[in-house]
Amino acid sequence: MAETKEPAGPPVTLTEPIEMSKLDVKFREEIHSMPNGEELSACFACSTCTAACPIANIWKYKPHQLIRMILLGMRDEVLSSDEIWLCLTCFQCQERCPQKVRVTDIFFDCKNLAAEEGKIPANIIGLAKELLEKGQLYTVTADWEREDMGLEPEVPGLSVDALKNILKETRTNKIVDSGE
Ligand code: SF4
Ligand code: SF4
């Protein structure tokens, strides 16, 4: 008989007692004082954001849990979480929050704070590098369908110099450098 796999339970950080000494009491205020954090404290943990999120079912920490973790001061867990980087920025959560908590934008703030601390996943650094070097995230390649469509076999070169210059003047450089 085939073994049935138990569904993964909630992360241990949410089931074990929280060590108060490990909480950063200033984290809540830090996010709250940012332009997107004004309504943070209004969250009443209804989970509507999670219900609206198209990918929350594969996340270890669900959107409403991340918001709760921010309120509790679980700075390390939030800023080291994969979820803030996996967010699709579709704004479904934010649109539906009955308390007007800017969930998506708060995750942006978390990403910025994580980046300041060098906590950036390698794949994000790879994408930033592509953007910096080529001015685009995905290289446009020639495709056999071009012929069928009566187009030249090679994709004409795109002018990305201006974009590359802008990126060099921003902190995209810093992100790439931090991963090297
Ligand atoms: S939908 Fe809004 S109020 Fe409800 S849990 Fe999410 S952030 Fe909190
Ligand atoms: S913005 Fe991010 S957290 Fe919100 S619903 Fe979309 S994927 Fe989920």
**pLDDT at residue 6 greater than cutoff 60:** no
Q: What is the mean pLDDT of residues 143-172?
A: 78
What mean pLDDT, rounded, does the chain reach? 87
Q: What is the pLDDT of residue 107?
A: 97
Domains along the chain? Answer: 20-116 (1.10.1060.10), 122-178 (no CATH)
Structure tokens at 112: 């910025």
Look at 34 and 177; give whichever has higher pLDDT.
34
pLDDT of residue 2: 46
pLDDT of amino acid 15:
82
- Tell me the per-residue pLDDT of 57-69, one tens digit each, with 9 for 90 and over: 999 999 999 999 9
CA distances from 83 to 132, 135, 142, 170 (A): 24, 26, 34, 25
CA distance 129 to 8: 34
Query: Which of 118 and 90 is assigned the larger pLDDT?
Result: 90
Our answer on whether the CB atom of 34 is closer than 6 Å to any ligand 1 atom is no
pLDDT at 11: 82
Name the residue with higher pLDDT: 60 or 132: 60
Task: Indicate which residue's Cα is closest to atom 8 of ligand 2.
Answer: 53
Q: Which atom of ligand 2 is nearest to the CA of 103?
A: 4
What pLDDT does 128 receive?
86
Nearest residue by C-alpha to atom 6 in ligand 1: 49
7-16, 76-85, 127-136: which has the highest mean pLDDT? 76-85
Mean pLDDT in residue range 138-163: 75
Residue 5: pLDDT over 60:
no
pLDDT tops 80 at residue 44: yes
**What Cα–Cα distance (Å) separates residue 9 from each residue in 6, 42, 60, 62?**
8, 28, 9, 12
